[in-house]
Amino acid sequence: MLIYQQDYFGFVYIWRDRKRKMFYIGSHLGSLDDGYIGSNKRLKAAYKKRPNDFKRRILNYTTTNNKNTLFLIEQYWLDFIDFEKLGIHYYNLKNIASGGCGKHTEESRKNISLSKIGKPAPNRGISMKKEQKEKLSKSRTGCKIKNPRTKKYREEISKRQLGKKRKPHTEETKQLMSHKQKGKDRPKINCPYCLMVGEISNMKRWHFNNCKHKLEC
């Protein structure tokens, strides 16, 4: 059944790039003829250079003027994309609905989160292919790391921390830390000076070269 312009508020679409044999799935809260292409920069750049190579097909319409409904419909189609195909067979770099009409609202985030409950992560157990690794490496070539951890940088951070008092752990945090440490098998060692037995971290701090009985031996 054909849904006319006055009957819908938005739609989910898929672009096909016949030259590169790539696709792009997105959504738009607007009309079919308002000139909207997509939010993906790579897609828009390619479309600007070769518009005749692209063809759009509408996957779904929404008859409610609501971003959240549109995002849920878009998410339904994005879930069909295999993780390893993102950025290679699809212009999409992630399979999470964001739409072409702004940021997610709190309500839309909750709805998308609820729709994914019980479903495994799309990239679970899948390692990146060699082609993906090379592509990622090329995209990072020439990028400068912000605040590199040089010796001078570390010394400056150390100076800033001098004299500052750390906030004490709350009782709740202490209980959580204690609970996580229970049941762990920690190796113990003997101090050669006082023969005290204890865990490695404490023994190295208070015994061995720092043992008060060392001078007596």
Is residue 167 included in any domain, yes or no?
no
Q: Which of 15, 1, 3, 105 is nearest to 62 (CA)?
A: 3
Residue 28, beta-bridge partner list: 11
CA–CA distance, 109 with 98 (Å, rounded to integer): 10
CA distance 181 to 86: 40
Let me know whether 106 and 198 are in one domain. no
Is 146 part of a structural domain of the chain? no
How far is it, in rounded angstroms, from Cα 54 to Cα 22? 10
Q: Counting Cβ atoms within 10 Å, is residue 70 exposed (0-12), middle (13-18) or buried (19+)?
A: buried
pLDDT band at 101 (very low <50, low <70, confident <90, very high): very low
In a domain, 88, yes or no: yes
Number of domains in the chain: 2
Q: Among 68-77, 117-126, 141-150, which range has the highest average pLDDT?
A: 68-77
Together in a domain, 191 and 120: no
Residue-range definition of the domain harbouring residue 190: 186-217
pLDDT tens digits, residue range 47-94? 999 999 999 999 988 888 888 888 888 888 998 888 888 888 999 988
Ranking 24-28, 30-34, 57-61, 108-112 by mean pLDDT, the lowest is 108-112
Answer with the one of 93, 110, 133 that is the final residue of a domain: 133
> Does residue 16 sit within a domain?
yes
Mean pLDDT of the chain: 80
Same domain, 203 and 129: no
Considering 90, 106, 133, which residue would you say is the last residue of a domain? Answer: 133
